[in-house]
Amino acid sequence: MGKNKKNKVYLVNDDDKRIIGTLKAVFAVMVVFIHANFSSINMATGSVTFDFPKWFTMAKTILSDAIPKCAVPGFFIMASVLLFKREFDWKKNVLKKARTLMIPYFIINTFWILFYACAQMVPSVSVFFSNPDKIVANWSWVEYLDAYLGTGVGSGVHLIYAPLWFVEHLFVLNIISPVIKMIIDKIPVIYGVAIICLLVFDVNFNMFFLNNVSLFYFSLGYYLVKYGIHFSDVKNIDYRIITPLYIAVTVLNMLTLGDERFASVKDLAQIIIGLLWWAHTAIYLSGLEGVPNAVLKTLEKYNFIIYIFHYNSITILQKLLFKLLPNNLVCIVAEYFISAIIMIVLCIVLAIFMERFMPRIFSLLIGDRDKKVKAQ
């Protein structure tokens, strides 16, 4: 691999754009399935723990853990590539990311704090918002700080909308991005080995705003840019090789579930091979036409809305389904799949509604990503 020339522009070609767009759609669905996984339901009357058959536990582990394990790392890599693809002004970029990341971050966290506070005051619905860590009336300023930032100093509250840890970390990584770039440019091998060791040996920083995972995959994005490696280059990898590798590493993770030996190495293999396989598959998916293409384009367009609205909502939906449907295995299995599908559809419907009737709020929530909204 040759050295990257100074100020060399990394061209994101049309194939790259199609792959990135498709991956955004696929990863958004994966993230919803991660949070659709449940083993118990926490109601005001007590917690109900389910004794699932092994086949269903295995299916949930594959669909909500093994396969989607690459989703958030993939988002970090794509964000990094799109940042470093050209030279940028640090101050302008930070201000831009404050708008596109932190404004939605604080709006969503504030919304859920107010939502929980109001719902817990209504006896008829408070049963659905009974998590003892989220009884807003009992919070001190420490819990509020924890709810907004995920500092870990509160009494189990942590980030009120947990998936926003990605947004928080991404903003911090954008702040320190020139430092990351400078170090990689000066000592690419040493830095690469160092961050791999941090990941493999699970050396974390115990900082709520940054961890070894986010740093590794964001850095990996710049390595792709530095050495001119494109998403579309994945087509040079034989599908007949990457597919059995992906199956093998998934089976290995399933067979050694709960075994912490080499857990970080197994996770790294699962994620990297998964990213390669899904990038390869995205080439095929991006070429689909008709309804499949329309679905992917819709998921791509509203992927951020899905990300910032699905999490607490899917827990509420599952509690509602648990109350409405019979408590048997068929219904519980159905709840797992139905809750994920319904939540994706509801998030898209909400996005379309806000885009049409509340364009300014929609614009704030997506961080003014869609410039067309401003013209409405």
Which pLDDT belongs to residue 48?
A: 80
Residue 375 has pLDDT above 50, yes or no: no
Instruction: Share the mean pLDDT of the chain.
Output: 90
Distance (Å, whole) CA 123 – CA 134: 16
pTM value is: 0.92
Radius of gyration of the chain (CA): 21
Q: Looking at residue 135, what is its pLDDT?
A: 87
Cβ-based neighbours of 224, under 8 Å, separated by 6 or more? 77, 80, 81, 230
Specify the pLDDT at position 187.
98
What would the pLDDT profile of 269-326 be if each residue is shown by its tens digit? 999 999 999 999 999 999 999 999 999 999 999 999 999 999 999 988 998 898 888 8
Domain ranges of the chain: 14-374
Q: Which residue has the higher pLDDT, 370 or 46?
A: 46
DSSP string computed for 54-106: HHHHHHHHIIIIIGGGGHHHHHHHHHHHHHHTS---HHHHHHHHIIIIIHHHH
pLDDT at 371: 53
Of 116-125, 175-184, 207-216, give the lowest mean pLDDT range. Answer: 116-125
Q: How high is the pLDDT of residue 357?
A: 96
- Is residue 261 very low, low, confident or very high in pLDDT (cuts 50, 70, 90)? confident
CA-to-CA dists, residue 167 to 98, 118, 184, angstroms: 10, 26, 23
Does the pLDDT of residue 36 top 90, yes or no? Answer: yes
Locate 31 and state its tokens. Answer: 């993230």
pLDDT at 374 over 50: no
pLDDT at position 140 over 50: yes
> Which pLDDT band, with edges at 50, 70 and 90, does 155 fall under?
low
The C-alpha atoms of residue 264 and residue 212 are separated, in whole angstroms, by 11
Q: State residue 373's pLDDT score.
A: 39
Q: How far apart are CA 238 and CA 106, in angstroms?
A: 44
**The pLDDT of residue 3:** 45
CA distance 254 to 274: 15
pLDDT exceeds cutoff 70 at 44: no
What HEC string does 245-296 produce? HHHHHHHHHHHCCCCCCCHHHHHHHHHHHHHHHHHHHHHHHCCCCCHHHHHH
- The CA distance from 199 to 216, in Å, is 7
pLDDT at residue number 340:
97
Give the per-residue pLDDT at 154.
65
The pLDDT score that the predictor gives to residue 158 is 81
- Residue 98 exposed, middle or buried by CB count within 10 Å (0-12, 13-18, 19+): middle
State mean pLDDT over 358-363.
93
Look at residue 231 and give its three-state secondary structure.
Answer: helix
How does residue 149 score in pLDDT terms, banded at 50, 70 and 90?
very high
Instruction: Give 331-358 pLDDT, tens digit per residue.
Output: 999 999 999 999 999 999 999 999 999 9
State pLDDT tens for residues 85-97. Answer: 999 999 999 999 9
pLDDT per residue over 192-205, tens digit each? Answer: 999 999 999 988 87
pLDDT at position 1 is 40
Tens digits of residue pLDDT in 205-260: 778 899 999 999 999 999 999 999 999 999 999 999 999 999 999 999 888 887 88
Tokens read off for 78:
């794509």
The arithmetic mean of pLDDT across residues 28-43, rounded, is 91
Cβ-contact 116, 154 below 8 angstroms: no
Is residue 277 within 8 A of residue 242, CB to CB? The reply is: yes
Which residue type sits at 23?
L
45 vs 302: which has the higher pLDDT: 302
Which range is most confident: 116-120, 136-140, 228-232? 228-232
How many Cα neighbours within 13 Å face the side chain of 347?
29
